[in-house]
Chain A
């Protein structure tokens, strides 16, 4: 279709002129987004240094940022549409997908590679005189003093604090994700046969809207401890004392380490049960009613139906939900950081990563931890890719 309306004059001019015209257009196409970025950027610096009221700056910044990006697409597309049609066809897809690919390359793909390089060096990082992207500078970089090879990785697997983090993360995965799945499934099953399904599901789902920092405050308050003769204001200790026990420190209870981690994991179960419940609820409703009715007629009990029919039919959802929560608990950071700061034997991989990278400023060690974190999700990544290939959505 598009080839039909190629302008006549484009065909008549000489090949050289056309080449120059294209070159100019491509140059324009490249330079305009750059200018747009610089203008947005300059606007930002200006806004940052201005002393207008904060809310005015906030509104201008929002309009500036969002509008700027939209403008970028419009300008870029306008240029490409004015090119000869064969060039429009060739270039327009990149107007559409180019920015997304560029951002993903900059923010996630290349960092995998750069972080891996950083992990081979000590706290000074990859020597600044060289660049990670130029293979010619690699030999010199490797010979520099800051190159330590796999030392950081050896340290990860030998340092006591890191081993403790791995153990804790394992607890998070085993207890956190399993309990979230089990309670979510149980609630979904119960709610499905109750008149109060909507309201009860909403209330269990509600914590999903709460930030981890907010949840940490909520649970710090639940675990609050007071001296033995003062009235307890935390729910946990109030119950324990009312039953004649001693007030405890719960998540900060070193004497029972590593089991004090369970009181942090409890927070994530509280937050994530709603998530698994919603997905299981939808899956349970997808099971054909006839199958369940038929087994009821055959005399199966509700519990038999649950284990023999429902669980097998929603196995795919169970795996999805479970892997999602596993990935999520692998990266758990906020709760531990705010509740205990990693003290009392509660460090996890992500808090160690933060501590090493930003508090201790040892980017080499921190990067090695990040690489290990990435390696742990590789099985899920491969599983996803395999699913994608099987699905052939393309």
Chain B
């Protein structure tokens, strides 16, 4: 290892580090802000939680006591300037002199730079977002107001109720179909499989209006069943395609020996194929889970406007519409929607990557 490869390693790792930092900043900012006091978020950047140099007032002086004339030049604490200049702050050495307030009743602050951290952390934002109970909040001007809670725990439950069946049902149906395509013979087998390959890239927008019309006729609108079936329909082509790719490569001899022992297709499928396909099933399950949990459009169309059935993404989108500037709510709310997919993602990343590689085209 010469100096050349060491320089190279430094360049590679340094560039990588910069990229990783850039990629992490957005999420980190959200995460840090969600724990900051609601008023702090509004007046200082989230990066002030890290040690930084900050001007801090050492002494406060009354200009009237000092006999200063705000109309002309003033000399105070060793600096000279007009009112306008002092308003901006005049720096001399490591001291800054600033006029705070208006011309008549203002005061003069002598400030010095020192290290500071903004560590005023709280869980109140989460209480407000999840709890759903009204809370009293004291504002900086001293007034006390009651703020309504956002009750995202309800939406969290709804997201669960939507996501779990929307993940399990397509896997079940697709596994049966993949087995059928791989190991059974029937008229139309090739045609139907070509249909599945073609449907992989068909945008789901094409289906929303007709399906909504059917749901209206069946009275299914706004029910979980409606959205389960919709996610099943939109995820099924990919699921069948992926699982077919796996199930069709299982060794033929194994199945044949099972048939010789008198097993039916159903038994072979449930006792032999399903257990063997667990890695493929898990890969698709994670893929579909993240897809459904993070979906916004399908929920928006089929779950509708009834707040009792809204899922997390809908609630969060509502929050951005209604409380677009309330960053303490938005950051905590966004993190609530992200916590489960992040946990799944970090815990099961290997399976997820495998699923991603197997079929990277989703309609």
From known contacts A118-B209, A381-B201, infer whether A213 and B330 are also in contact, taking CB-CB under 8 Å: no
How long is the Cα–Cα vector from A327 to B200 in the complex, in angstroms? 11
Q: Kindly identify which residue among A73, A193, A328 contacts B176, using a CB–CB cutoff of 8 Å.
A: A73
A254 at the interface (CB under 8 A from B): no
Pairwise interchain contact B206-A374, C-beta atoms closer than 8 A: yes
Distance A275 CA – B356 CA, assembled complex (angstroms): 8
Give Cα A232 to B29, complex, Å: 14
Listed stretches B66-74, B141-149, B188-196; interface member: B188-196
Contact flags B25-37 to A (C-beta < 8 A → 1, else 0): 1110110010000
Q: Is B129 an interface residue (CB 8 A)?
A: no
A78 to B245, CA, bound (A): 27
Contact present for B202 and A112 (CB under 8 Å): yes
- Which of B189, B203, B356 has the most chain A CB within a 10 Å cutoff? B203
B133 within 8 A of partner (CB): no
Interface stretch, picked from B75-83, B90-98, B99-107, B294-302, is B294-302
One of A44, A77, A193, A373 near B224 (C-beta < 8 A): A44
* Proximity bits, A92-103, B CB within 8 Å = 1, else 0: 111111011101
Q: How many A-B residue pairs lie within 8 Å, measured between CB atoms?
A: 345
Q: A36: CB under 8 A from chain B?
A: no
Q: Does A320 contact B (CB under 8 A)?
A: yes
Set of chain A residues within 8 Å of B223, measured between Cβ atoms: 44-45, 48
Q: Is A311 an interface residue, CB under 8 A from the partner?
A: no
Residue of B nearest to A91 (CB): B186
Decide if A214 touches B338 in the complex (CB within 8 Å). Answer: yes
Task: Determine the chain A residues whose CB is within 8 A of the CB of B295 once the complex forms.
Answer: 211
Q: Are B195 and A104 in contact (CB under 8 A)?
A: yes
With A104-B199, A208-B345, A384-B361 given, is the CB distance from A233 to B42 under 8 Å?
yes
Chain A positions 78 through 117: 1 when the CB is less than 8 Å from some CB of chain B, otherwise 0? 0001000000001011111101110110111111101100
Cα-based distance from A100 to B165 in the complex (angstroms): 16
Q: Which of B197, B259, B333, B342 has the most CB of A within 10 A?
A: B197
Determine if A331 and B26 form an interchain contact, defined as CB atoms under 8 angstroms apart. Answer: no
Which of B264, B327, B357, B360 is the one whose CB lies under 8 Å from A224? Answer: B327
Instruction: Verify B338–A324 contact, CB threshold 8 A.
Output: no
Least CB distance from B319 to A in Å reads 8
Chain B, range 244-259, C-beta contacts under 8 Å to A: 245, 248, 259
Interface residues of B toward A: which range?
A: 35 or more
Which residues between 312 and 355 of chain B lie within 8 Å of chain A, taking CB atoms? 313, 316-317, 320, 324, 327, 330-331, 333-334, 337-338, 341-342, 344-346, 349, 353
Main secondary structure of the interface of A (DSSP, over half): helix
- State whether B360 touches A231 (Cβ < 8 A): no
C-alpha spacing A70/B229, complex, angstroms: 14
Q: Which of B186, B237, B361 is A97 in contact with, Cβ under 8 Å?
A: B186
CB distance from B20 to the nearest CB of A (A): 5
* B190-233 interface (Cβ within 8 A of A): 190, 192-211, 213-214, 218-220, 223-225, 228-230, 232-233
Cβ-based interface call for B46 (8 A): yes
Q: Chain B nearest CB: distance from A370 CB in Å?
A: 5
Given the known inter-chain contacts A221-B29, A233-B42, A279-B360, please indicate yes or no for A65 contacting B206, CB distance below 8 A.
Answer: no
User: A321 touching B360 by the CB < 8 A rule?
Assistant: yes
Partner-contacting stretch, out of A18-26, A54-62, A148-156, A161-169: A54-62
Question: A65–B165 contact, CB under 8 A?
Answer: yes
A58 and B160: CB pair below 8 A? yes
Min CB gap B198→A, angstroms: 6
What mask results when residues 173 to 211 of chain A are scored 1 for a CB within 8 Å of chain B, else 0?
A: 000000000000001001101111000101111111111
Which residues of A sit under 8 angstroms from B269, Cβ to Cβ?
96
Contact assessment for A366 and B209 in the assembled complex, using a CB-CB cutoff below 8 Å: yes
Chain A residues, CB < 8 A from B338: 209-211, 214
Q: Are A100 and B24 in contact (CB under 8 A)?
A: no
Q: Given A65-B169, A103-B233, A233-B45, A393 and B248 touching (CB < 8 A)?
A: yes
Q: Mark B170-186, 1 if CB is under 8 A from A, else 0.
A: 00111011011100111
Cβ-defined contact, A334 with B320, below 8 A = no
- Judged by DSSP, the binding face of B is helix
Write the chain A residue with the least CB distance to B222: A48
Known pairs A96-B265, A370-B205; A187 contacts B240 (CB<8 A): no
Contact yes or no, B194 A385, CB < 8 A? yes
The answer to whether residues A92 and B184 also contact, given A69-B169, A104-B199, A217-B334 and a CB cut-off of 8 A, is yes
CB-based contact B316/A100 at 8 Å:
no
Is the beta-carbon distance between A373 and B296 smaller than 8 angstroms? no
A207 touches B337 (CB 8 A): no
From B201, B202, B356, residue with most partner A Cβ within 10 Å: B201
- Known contacts A65-B169, A65-B224, A357-B208: A187-B26 contact under CB 8 Å: no
- Check if A27 is an interface residue, CB within 8 A of chain B: no
Q: Tell me the nearest residue of chain A to B296, going by C-beta.
A: A334
- Which residues, 18 to 55 on B, are CB-close (under 8 Å) to A? 19-20, 23-27, 29-30, 33, 41-47
Q: Is A157 an interface residue (CB 8 A)?
A: no
A316 to chain B, nearest CB (A): 12
Q: Which residues of the partner chain B approach A231 to less than 8 Å between Cβ atoms?
A: 43-45
Tell me the bound Cα distance from A207 to B290 in angstroms: 12
**Does B15 count as interface, using CB distance less than 8 angstroms?**
yes
- The answer to whether the Cβ of B161 comes within 8 Å of any Cβ in the partner chain is yes
Q: Is B16 an interface residue (CB 8 A)?
A: yes
Among B160, B186, B237, the one with the most A-chain Cβ atoms within 10 Å of its Cβ is B186
Is the CB of A346 closer than 8 A to any CB of chain B? no
**A108–B357 CB distance below 8 A:** no
B12 interface hit (Cβ, 8 Å): yes
Q: Is the CB of A111 within 8 A of B42?
A: no
State A48–B223 Cα separation when bound (angstroms): 8
Given A211-B293, A233-B46, A270-B26, A96:B206 Cβ within 8 A: no
Q: From B26, B161, B313, B349, give the contact of A213 (CB < 8 A).
A: B313
Q: A103-B173, A107-B233, A214-B294 are known contacts; what are 16 more A-B pairs with Cβ within 8 Å?
A: A54-B154, A96-B269, A97-B189, A104-B195, A208-B290, A217-B334, A220-B324, A221-B26, A221-B327, A221-B330, A235-B45, A323-B361, A358-B300, A380-B361, A385-B198, A388-B194
Pick 19 A–B contacts, CB within 8 A, sort by A.
Answer: A1-B259, A58-B157, A69-B173, A73-B172, A94-B186, A97-B184, A97-B192, A108-B199, A108-B233, A109-B195, A206-B23, A210-B342, A220-B320, A238-B45, A270-B26, A275-B356, A334-B297, A369-B205, A370-B205
